[in-house]
Amino acid sequence: MPNYTNPNIKPVEIKPRPVETKTEIDERGAFQRQPNHFTRPFGDGKGELKAEKGRYHLYWAKGCHWSNRASIVRELLGLEDAISVTIVGHDYKDPEKRRYGWDFAAYENQVDPTTGAEFLSEFYYRADPDYTGRTTVPALVDLETYTVANNDYHRLTNYLEVNFKPFQKDNAPDLYPEELRNDIDNLNDNILFPFVNNGVYRMMFAQSLVAYEEAFDDFFTTLDVLEKRLENNRFLFGDYVTDSDVRFFVTLARFDTHYYRNLGPIKKRISEYTNIWGYARDLYEIPAFKHNTYFHDIARGWDTKKEKLFVDFNSRFADDIDFDAIWSAPQKREYLSKTPEQKFLIG
């Protein structure tokens, strides 16, 4: 039973989490990701959310690349004092509890240390009792009302970059330069999201071979294009890291580590793309990327007892792999930049 830290907050009824392969598959057997529900933007206009220091709390999960983007950008911009954070997870010891989605089983008394909530979904159903979708991360929760203010992973990092600028650290990087915003949005929305970030899920959740092969071709064709792009560019838009690089990195960090387990024969591992692999390691050198990438949590296998005849590779070996050493191998991409020691455009 929730034990809310705010006595004025009342419990809400929670519902079982919908299953993607039952509720988000079209007639072709293709995965159609549910739209984000809480998309009220941040801004100064009427009805828009106001960026305030200390009002919002970010919930994210180590394995979820959609939310990992927000955790990386939050640290890059130095917003730790402005936006507090909790990492959600799943109680793997209790199958019944897992039916209700993201929880706080890793914390004392299995509740959120900030609010006292037991499930992330409580913030969703308090914001909209009629909500029927999956409760997802990232979720930016209003600590005054214990409701989800925004769960729009398409735009959340942009809000941190623009609307929360007054609370960023001195000399914070400009990840979303005004003169590049149209180009960044185009790459994010029309290439990275459909073919790369969501492309892996389109393969993993496909319920027909036609849908799988379509997603497979989209993903690897796009990697070929980006491999060529990174031949002469240190980062996706040249000398400096932008919002797009964060979005690309979080998928790259999970492909050879985890995603491959749910796919058929793959065309290439990420480590076989000379430019992309060097680029990914170049990003991993940046503390905010490294601090927010939990390789062992991403890779850890499902069969913890290892008693079956056939046990998946990650269950057998993931805990023994030195991912940090692999990702910290020298990559020598500095020569591509006019400012080799400076990876960021300072706003």
201 part of the active site: yes
- CA distances, 342 to each of 173, 274, 345 (Å): 10, 22, 8
CB atoms within 10 A of CB 14: 18
| Distance between first and last Cα of the chain | 46
Q: What's the burial of 261, exposed, middle or buried (CB within 10 Å: 0-12/13-18/19+)?
A: middle
125 part of the active site: no
Using the 8-state DSSP alphabet, how is residue 195 labeled?
A: I
* Three-point CA angle 298, 299, 300, nearest 5°: 105
Do residues 54 and 82 lie in contact, with contact meaning Cβ atoms separated by under 8 Å? yes
- CA distances, 276 to each of 208, 252, 256 (Å): 30, 9, 13
Give the 3-state secondary structure of residue 41: coil
Show Cβ contacts of residue 114 under 8 Å, excluding neighbours closer than 6 positions.
5, 57, 84, 86, 143
Q: Is the peptide bond before 177 cis (omega within 30 degrees of 0)?
A: no
Which of 296, 289, 298, 300 minimizes the C-alpha distance to 200? Answer: 298
Of 59, 153, 176, 201, catalytic: 201
Of 59, 64, 125, 279, catalytic: 64
Known catalytic residues? Answer: 64, 201
